[in-house]
Amino acid sequence: MRRNRKAKIIVTLGPTSSDSKSIRKLFASGADVFRLNFSHDIASAHTKRFKEIRSLEKKVKRPIGILMDLQGPKLRVGKFENGPIFLKNGKRFIFDLDPTPGNKYRCFLPHKEIYKKIKKGNRILVDDGKLTLIVTKKNSNYIETKVKFSGFISSNKGFNIPNVISHTGKLTKKDKEDLKLALKLGVDWIALSFVETAKDVLNFKKIIKGKASVLTKLEKPIALKNLNKIIEVSDAIMIARGDLGIETPLESLPSQQKRIINACRQAGKPVVVATQMLDSMVNYPTPTRAEASDVATAIYDGTDAVMLSAETAIGLYPNESVLMMNKIIEKVENDPLYLNINEASHVKAESTAEDAITESAKYVARIMSAKAVVTYTTSGSTALRAARERPDVPIMGISPNLNTARRLALVWGVHCIHTKDARSFKDMVLKAGRLAKKEKYAKKGERVVITAGVPFGESGATNVLRIASVDRY
């Protein structure tokens, strides 16, 4: 199954989208990568979802990416005994160290360090700022607040105190347990939360030892100061706008988004825009006009992927949300303005044979009216290089490594194909043409442009460019 777009869609699974039928529908509607959010649900639920995705992958015979999102040291409230509680302006509410389920008067806040650092007058933001409270009293095990802006509070919702708590990048006990499970299952990507420095990423990579690719989440102001170094050591970047929009001035978020996307484009690293993209579709079958524009803006900016969170995890319209995002992306990518912006933001190639060949492939495909750029890739580097060029035509990423093919599901423009490696130069050309026809990218007599590294089967340099006519051999 091929997509009629180049930007990818990441879909979060949850209570409303966990059975095999739901996952199959979400994939058919446009999901390229499935996200397992370990901030919610128990390990067995995520294991079941993982197995359902891999079962679907075998049925559709197409690599599907799986992203595991670590909770990280994010502050969260405890559980509530009777579901969500609405807190009105002016209401008194207590946070304490009592593990008893919360009610309309108080709730458990299991983070002892907060009680030492928080001060009277500090703002508390719950659920990405949907509820705002002001601290009125405190002691070593008790925080009394007054609601400033009404909103709901419920089990395990995020808890932010801007400019008070700094995260260290260390894994929590829960993170370590979840990570062990994820690596055992064989996830393709791991999202690392609350990164502050490049060292945080490097230390994490030492732990996972290449068993998965690292998607670094930008959520803290200090990370933006270390942006280029963090991008350099990461496999991909996520603009996690929930926490980032709380920890930094909200009015600066749009410009920061553009800055991060541009920096990732320059570095040739995939970038994901996330959080509240179609948020109203949690409860309604259509998004707001502003949300549709938000998704479109991310695509115009050049993001590799956009992500749905609550919309598909707990929303009433998960499938409709994916279909809507798919339609928005397709519409933008067929806009002449998008094509012009894409060309204007072209990344300057480095003075290497690999970059020279990959950039040439883009223009050769245009001149020759080729239907696709075909990349043979073992590690994924050739396909990533091709995606960095943003060619006019789709990229067929052919790999003998299934893990590589799955990870490439996140990357702009890359249609992943897992197959045996080419045995010879002639076999390479023949296989490229046959797969281009099979995947409906090219018809008999039409051309494709092929890039590869010779000798075959070795990870490394891209040193071959070939124009091939489908069915010539």
| pLDDT, position 460 | 61
Q: Quote the domain boundaries for residue 404.
A: 353-469
Assigned domain for 339 exists: no
Please tell me which residue in 6, 35, 138, 220 is annotated as part of the active site. Answer: 35
Assigned domain for 37 exists: yes
Together in a domain, 377 and 465 = yes
Q: Cβ distance 241 to 275 under 8 Å?
A: yes
Assigned domain for 343 exists: no
Assigned domain for 348 exists: no
| pLDDT, position 161 | 86
The mean per-residue pLDDT over the stretch 71-97 comes to: 91
Arithmetic mean of pLDDT over the chain: 92
Please tell me which residue in 6, 138, 217, 385 is annotated as part of the active site. Answer: 217
Assigned domain for 201 exists: yes
Residue in the block written with tokens 């992500």? 307
The mean per-residue pLDDT over the stretch 107-136 comes to: 91
Least confident window among 112-116, 121-125, 468-472: 468-472
Together in a domain, 392 and 323 = no
| pLDDT, position 169 | 58
Q: Is 418 helix (H, G, I), strand (E, B) or coil?
A: strand
Using one digit for the tens of pLDDT, what is the confidence trace for 123-160? 999 988 889 999 999 998 999 999 999 999 999 898 88
Q: Minimal CA–CA distance to 62: which of 454, 459, 397, 413?
A: 397
Report the share of the chain in percent with pLDDT over 90: 77
Together in a domain, 141 and 198 = no
Q: CATH number for the domain including 153?
A: 2.40.33.10
How many domains does the chain contain in total? 3
Q: What's the CA dihedral at 120, 122, 125, 126 to 10 degrees?
A: -20
Q: Reply yes or no on whether 145 is catalytic.
A: no
Together in a domain, 401 and 431 = yes
Please tell me which residue in 12, 16, 216, 275 is annotated as part of the active site. Answer: 275
Together in a domain, 155 and 175 = no
Together in a domain, 174 and 154 = no
Domain stops at, among 106, 135, 160: 160
Q: CATH number for the domain including 31?
A: 3.20.20.60
Please give the Cα distance from 247 to 258 (Å, whole number).
17
Q: Reply yes or no on whether 35 is catalytic.
A: yes
| pLDDT, position 113 | 82
Assigned domain for 347 exists: no
Exposure class string for 41-70: b at 16+ Cβ within 10 A, else e = beeeebeebbebbeebbeeeebbbbbbbbb
Q: CATH number for the domain including 428?
A: 3.40.1380.20
Together in a domain, 109 and 174 = no
The mean per-residue pLDDT over the stretch 250-273 comes to: 95
The mean per-residue pLDDT over the stretch 241-269 comes to: 91
Q: Reply yes or no on whether 241 is catalytic.
A: no
Together in a domain, 101 and 61 = no
Please tell me which residue in 6, 62, 74, 76 is annotated as part of the active site. Answer: 76
The mean per-residue pLDDT over the stretch 400-415 comes to: 97
Show Cβ contacts of residue 448 under 8 Å, excluding neighbours closer than 6 positions: 370, 371, 372, 373, 374, 396, 432, 433, 436, 441, 442, 467, 468, 470
Q: Position 383: which residue type?
A: A
Q: Reply yes or no on whether 217 is catalytic.
A: yes
Together in a domain, 363 and 302 = no
Domain stops at, among 127, 160, 193: 160
The model's pTM: 0.88
